[in-house]
Structure 1
Amino acid sequence: MPEMRFSIRWPDGTVEACYSPSLVIKDYFVPGESYKLLEFLAKSREALTIASDRVEARYGFPCSRALGQLVRLEAAGRAYSTHPDARVAVESFDD
């Protein structure tokens, strides 16, 4: 399976490298675009779940790295949940 990494920038300017075991992330995000926090988290949840499901279909078990990445994004996103205009930028795809 083609894995990929992508970089995001949180509302406070922190850049984070992220992981997906599938290129499905490209169907949900565009490098250089920013997304409202809740939209970003919803798209991440859907894309990383699909990616993990693809691993499970192929190998018989879900991708713990994809699910761990999702947990990390959701935990980090909670820090900005009181900021209704918070946006997360997708900086790049590094596949």
Structure 2
Amino acid sequence: MPETYWTVRWPDGAEEALYSPSSVVAELFEPGRSYPAPEFRRRARTALERASERVRQSYGFACSAAMEELGRIETRLDRLDDPGAEILCLTLSTGGPRT
């Protein structure tokens, strides 16, 4: 269950490394692909809830870091000027964030 980071480009041009305690995000995001905000939200929620559940199954407790990351993502999405804007997945990597 390797930690995974995926880097996205938000509609304002800002790039951000996002965290998951599990590689499950690779099942839902593809580098080089853009996602409309509602789809990005759905995929991020699914990925991070699954990742948290994998942690719970392995260690007996859910992953608060995954849920905190989801909260940050959803807050960012809530602040978009265009609720249908595209978010681009730039990279996926395991073991640490890429700068």
Q: Normalising TM by the smaller chain, what interval? A: over 0.9
Correspondences of 1:55-74 after superposition (within 5 Å): 55-74=55-74
Q: Which runs of 5+ in 1 are unaligned?
A: none
* Residue in structure 1 matched with residue 37 of structure 2 by the alignment: 37
The structural deviation recorded for 1:84 is: 4.2
The structural deviation recorded for 1:86 is: 0.4
**Mapped partners of 1:85, 1:27: distance in 2:** 22
Equivalent AA in structure 1 for residue 92 of structure 2: F
DSSP 3-state at the match of 1:61: coil
**Mapped partners of 1:14, 1:33: distance in 2:** 16
TM-score, with structure 2 as normaliser:
0.91
TM-score, with structure 1 as normaliser:
0.94
- Equivalent pairs, count: 94
Equivalent AA in structure 2 for residue 94 of structure 1: S
* Residue in structure 2 matched with residue 2 of structure 1 by the alignment: 2
Equivalent AA in structure 2 for residue 65 of structure 1: A
> Do the aligned partners of residues 4 and 53 (structure 1) sit closer, same or farther apart at CA in structure 2, a change above 3 Å counting?
same
**8 Å Cα contact 2:7-2:91 kept in structure 1:** yes
The structural deviation recorded for 1:94 is: 1.7
Query: Identity percentage over the alignment?
Result: 43
**8 Å Cα contact 2:7-2:16 kept in structure 1:** yes
**8 Å Cα contact 2:29-2:89 kept in structure 1:** yes
* Residue in structure 1 matched with residue 93 of structure 2 by the alignment: 94
RMSD: 0.9
Equivalent AA in structure 2 for residue 86 of structure 1: A
**Mapped partners of 1:15, 1:94: distance in 2:** 15
4+ residue segments displaced more than 6 Å: none
* Residue in structure 2 matched with residue 51 of structure 1 by the alignment: 51
